[in-house]
Amino acid sequence: MEALLRPIYQERASDPNTLGIIFVEKREEVSPITDTFDSILFILTRDGEQPIFTKHYTFNDKKAAMHVITEKQLKKWLLLGTNPKLVDWLINGRVIFDRNEYIEELKKELQEFPINGRKVRMGIEFAKLSKRYLESKHFFEQLNYLDAYNHIVESLHHLARLAVFEHGLHPEVMVWKQVKQLDPSIYKLYDELVSSEETIEKRLELLFLASEFLIHSRIKEGAQHILDVLASKEFWTIQEIHEQEELKNYSVDLEVFIEFLVEKGFILIEKQPTKSNEIMHRYYKVR
């Protein structure tokens, strides 16, 4: 398949805007890594009119996909962790073009996973975890067990990804395969939730009890990034927190995460007067 695709990627390689090209072949009959395609051409560009450009090709019974991604889009995906296949492509794919060793340096950075980048990823992941976990408990208290189950499964996925970050690694597409090796206690929680023969209500009860410690023990590390940012000045309004450049990636999970950290005592509330005698402004500060 690569030989057939060679004219396509050679044309791309001659473009000065192209930073690198990686060729990925599927490793299993049905491969989530390649979205079921036989081959992937991953082309990284300095910039482009579209952040993502995709084409599909076919030859006899084979199919291939070409993804042209801008450097800015790649870095956004790597920061937010919203496309875990990319890490596999970058680390395990075969580099067939590399301008000024750009891909090689990127792979090195991914494998070393600097602590600052890891803190941001853990913060974003913990924000998602706390929101899904609180929503699950809320649904459980309302006796909406299926909604509670759905949200607790999501929160366990975020907890699993956190465990991978703690080991200095990037979560893969098959994250539970990673976690089974890295943190068996989290894997056991997930396994018991999905495979137990108990009623959903009983499974959720047991999981809430067991997961409380696992989540609580990770708060300090998971919240380190947001606390470091908020410690840069004494008081913050919620609007200032939303507009802070480093915290914009927390997106819709930000306010619930702030309230979670207030509840756990990591962030304090400072009340300041308004024009009304009865209503107070609510400011936030790091303990």
**One-letter amino acid for residue 251 of the chain:** S
The alpha carbon of residue 103 and the mean position of all alpha carbons in its chain are separated, in whole angstroms, by 21
The pLDDT score that the predictor gives to residue 16 is 93
Per-residue pLDDT band at 174 (split at 50, 70, 90): confident
Please tell me the distance from the alpha carbon of residue 254 to that of residue 175, in angstroms, as a whole number: 24
The pLDDT score that the predictor gives to residue 69 is 95
Q: Average pLDDT for residues 33-54, to the nearest whole number? A: 91
Per-residue pLDDT band at 111 (split at 50, 70, 90): confident
Q: Average pLDDT for residues 34-53, to the nearest whole number? A: 92
Q: Average pLDDT for residues 55-61, to the nearest whole number? A: 90
Enumerate helices (H) and strands (E) in the chain, giving the number of each.
13, 7
Q: Please determine, for residue 64, whether its predicted confidence score (pLDDT) is greater than 70.
A: yes
Q: Please determine, for residue 29, whether its predicted confidence score (pLDDT) is greater than 80.
A: no
DSSP state, residue 53: E
Please tell me the distance from the alpha carbon of residue 163 to that of residue 42, in angstroms, as a whole number: 28
**H or E stretch including 59?**
strand 52-59
Question: How confident is the prediction for the chain on average, in pLDDT?
Answer: 91
Q: pLDDT exceeding 90 applies to what percent of the chain?
A: 65
The pLDDT score that the predictor gives to residue 213 is 87
**One-letter amino acid for residue 220 of the chain:** K
DSSP state, residue 96: E
Backbone angles phi and psi of 169, in degrees to 5: -115, 170
The pLDDT score that the predictor gives to residue 30 is 67
Please tell me the distance from the alpha carbon of residue 237 to that of residue 59, in angstroms, as a whole number: 58
Instruction: Find where tokens 């200095």 sit.
Output: 168
The alpha carbon of residue 189 and the mean position of all alpha carbons in its chain are separated, in whole angstroms, by 20
At 199-236, the pLDDT tens digits run 999 999 999 998 888 888 899 999 999 999 999 999 99
Residues 6 or more apart whose Cβ sits within 8 Å of residue 39: 1, 2, 5, 23, 24, 25, 26, 62, 64, 65
Min mean pLDDT across 70-74, 80-84, 183-187 is at 80-84
Q: Average pLDDT for residues 101-105, to the nearest whole number? A: 94
Which domains are seen in the chain, by residue range? 2-112 (3.30.460.10), 115-228 (1.20.120.330)
Q: Average pLDDT for residues 99-124, to the nearest whole number? A: 89
Specify the 3-state DSSP secondary structure of 74.
helix
Q: Average pLDDT for residues 111-118, to the nearest whole number? A: 81
CB 200 within 8 A of CB 192: no
**H or E stretch including 18?**
strand 18-25
At 138-158, the pLDDT tens digits run 999 999 999 999 999 999 999
Please tell me the distance from the alpha carbon of residue 184 to that of residue 163, in angstroms, as a whole number: 10
Residues 6 or more apart whose Cβ sits within 8 Å of residue 265: 287
Per-residue pLDDT band at 82 (split at 50, 70, 90): confident
Q: Average pLDDT for residues 20-25, to the nearest whole number? A: 94
Which one, of 77, 175, 168, lies nearest residue 122 by Cα? 168
* 158 burial level (CB within 10 Å; 0-12, 13-18, 19+): buried
At 235-286, the pLDDT tens digits run 999 999 999 999 998 988 999 999 999 999 999 999 888 888 788 899 999 9
Per-residue pLDDT band at 172 (split at 50, 70, 90): confident
Please tell me the distance from the alpha carbon of residue 219 to that of residue 112, in angstroms, as a whole number: 24
Q: At what angle do helices 85-92 and 71-80 cross, to 10 degrees?
A: 120
Q: At what angle do helices 145-166 and 200-216 cross, to 10 degrees?
A: 30
Backbone angles phi and psi of 182, in degrees to 5: -85, -40
The pTM for the full model equals 0.83
Per-residue pLDDT band at 12 (split at 50, 70, 90): confident
Specify the 3-state DSSP secondary structure of 280.
strand
Q: Please determine, for residue 28, whether its predicted confidence score (pLDDT) is greater than 80.
A: no
